[in-house]
Copies of this chain bind each other. A is one copy, B any other.
Amino acid sequence: MNLALENPKLLSLAAGFTDNGTLPVAAVQEAMTALVRSPGEPEYLQYGTNRGRPGLRRQLSQRLCHLEPELDPAQVNEGCFVTNGSQQALYLAMQVLCEPGDIVLVDRPSYFVYLEMLTALGVRALSLPVDSTGVIDGAALDALLAALVARGEGSRVKAVYFVSYFSNPSARSLGEGEKTVIANALAAAGLWVPAVEDAAYRELYFHQPHPAASILTLPAWERFPRLYLSTLTKPFATGLKIGFGVCTDADWLARMLHVKGHHDFGSANFNQAVLERVLADGGLESQLAFIRPTYERKMRALHEALEAEGLRSLAWEWKEPAGGLYLWLRGPRALDTGMASEFCRACIEAGVLYVPGDLCFGESPPRNFARLSFGVLGEADLREAARRFVGVARHFSEQSA
C-alpha cells in the first residue's frame, strides 16, 4: 500500500481506500462552521469520553434501528461505543477474548488485516466451511465443530467472525439462512462463543440494502454474546476515522472499554462532533446517495474492462457485486497469484497492484485468487489498470499453454 502511494505510475487496485473525488468536503466544512457558530463553549475541541459522544452514539443507534426496526434504540444505545475506525473495535474485541493458542472461526475468504491481527496475537484462524459457490456448508461446519470438541479443543474456540455485507474481499453477503446455520452449528456443539459481525460495507450497496438482518436481530443468535461492527469511515470519510460497535454483552463491553481507556481513553472528540452534526443534518444520507451510483459506475468500468480485455476467456471467474468496493477474482487453478508469486511481481512490473488472495484465508489458502478494488481510481485509470492486469494474465496463460 505504501509502495502504491509513493509511486505515481503504479495503478493501485489493491488499496481499500475510497475515491478522493467523492469526499464530502462541503459537508465537513458546513459541520465545522455550524459547530463554531453553536452557542456555548467549544467543547468539541476538548477531550470527550472514553466511550464516545452520547449524541453521536444515540444517532448511530437510531440509524441502525432504522435498518432493523425490530431493534430497540435504547438497548442498542446501551451497547454502543465509538472507536478509531471499526478496526480498533475489532482489536479490542480480540484482545480481551483471546490468548495465544486460541482459535477463532472466520469466514472464507476473510478480511486480511483481521487475519494478520490474529496471527500477531498468536490466535489460529479456522475457516467456516463453504461449498463450491462460497455458501456456508452447515454439514461440514457441524463436522468441523464436532471434531474440534472431540479433540478437546472446544474450549480454545473464543469467537466467530464474519464480514456479512458486500464483504471484503469477496463482495458476497451472507443470507439469513447462512447466519442461522452458523449459530445452530455452534449451539449444537455447545460452543456459545462471542460472535463478531463486521458490517463495514453494509451501507455501500449500489441499489438496495442486502435484505438479511444482522445477528443483533436473528433469533438463532439470541443466546450468544454479540458484537456488531460498523463505521462512518468507508461510507463518509476515511480521514475522520470513526467506527463503532454495538455489544450485547455487558461484561465483554466493559472489558473492551477498560482496554480502550488504556489505548487512548477516547477517540478524537472533534471528529465525533463533526459527524454528529453531519448525521443530524442528513449529510450522511446525501453522501451515500452520491457515492452509491459513483461506486457502481466504477465497479462497472472495471468489470466491463476486464471482460472486454478477455479475462474470462483466460479461465478467470468473478461475479458482478451488488455493493462494496471489490471484485473477487478466481484465476485458473494452476496459477499462483500469491504474495510471493511471479504473477504478483509481473503485475507490479506492469504497473498494477492487487491484493493477493492467499492473504485472505485462515488456513490452506488457495493460491489463485485476487482482490481488485475499484474504490480509489477513476474510470479511465480503472480501465488502464484492467488492461495491464489482463495483459499479465494473458502472458501467464500463454506460458502455461
Interface string of A43-54 (1 = CB under 8 A from B): 111111100000
Contact with B along A1-36 (1 / 0, CB 8 A): 010010000000000011011011100110011001
A191 to B91, CA, bound (A): 33
Q: Beyond A29-B32, A32-B32, is A239–B20 a contact (Cβ under 8 Å)?
A: no
**Residue of B with least CB distance to A376:** B46
**Which B-chain residue is minimally distant from A41 (CB atoms)?**
B20
A43 cross-chain contacts in B, Cβ below 8 A? 20, 239
Question: Which of chain A's residues 267-319 have a Cβ closer than 8 Å to chain B?
Answer: 267-271, 273
Chain B residue with the shortest CB-CB distance to A1: B49
**Interchain CB contact (< 8 A) of A240 among B45, B85, B116, B258:** B45
- Segment 249-274 of A: residues with Cβ below 8 Å from B: 258-259, 261-271, 273
A368 within 8 A of B: no
* A117 interface hit (Cβ, 8 Å): yes
Contact B36 A25 (CB under 8 A): yes
A20 x B47 contact (CB < 8 A) = no
Residues of B within 8 A of A401 (CB): none
List the B side residues contacting A267 at CB < 8 Å: 84, 241
* CB <8 Å contact, B46 and A23: yes
Are B47 and A238 touching (Cβ within 8 A)?
Answer: yes
Mask: chain A, 61-91; 1 = CB below 8 Å from B; 0 = not: 0000000000000000000000111011001
- Are the C-beta atoms of B259 and A120 separated by less than 8 Å? yes
In the complex, are the beta carbons of A17 and B47 less than 8 A apart? yes
Question: Is the pair A116, B262 in contact by a Cβ cutoff of 8 Å?
Answer: yes
Cβ-defined contact, A42 with B23, below 8 A: yes
When chains A and B are docked, how far (Å) is the Cα of A49 from the Cα of B3? Answer: 11
How far apart sit A91 and B258, CA to CA, in the bound complex (Å)?
13
Are B265 and A268 within 8 A (Cβ)? no
Question: Would you call A113 an interface residue if the criterion is a C-beta within 8 Å of the partner chain's C-beta atoms?
Answer: yes
Pair A18/B2 contact, Cβ less than 8 Å: no
The listed residue (B83, B85, B264) touching A87 by CB distance below 8 A is B264
Contact A262 B91 (CB under 8 A): yes
Cα of A339 to Cα of B372 in the assembled complex, Å: 55
Query: In the complex, what residues of B have CB within 8 A of residue A18's CB?
Result: 46
Alpha-carbon distance A258/B91, docked complex (angstroms): 13
| Cross-interface CB contact of A269 among B2, B241, B266, B273, cutoff 8 Å | B241
- Using Cβ atoms and an 8 Å threshold, which residues of chain B touch A46? 17-18, 20, 23, 237-239
**A40 smallest CB distance to B (angstroms):** 9
* Complex alpha-carbon distance, A36 and B269, angstroms: 21
**Contact indicator A113/B265 (Cβ below 8 Å):** yes
Known pairs A23-B46, A28-B32, A84-B264; list 18 more (Cβ under 8 Å).
A5-B49, A20-B45, A20-B46, A23-B41, A43-B239, A45-B237, A45-B240, A47-B238, A84-B263, A85-B265, A87-B263, A87-B264, A113-B261, A113-B262, A113-B265, A240-B270, A241-B266, A241-B269
A-B interface, 9 closest residue pairs, ranked by CB to CB distance from nearest: A241-B268, A20-B41, A45-B239, A23-B45, A239-B270, A84-B264, A117-B262, A239-B269, A45-B237
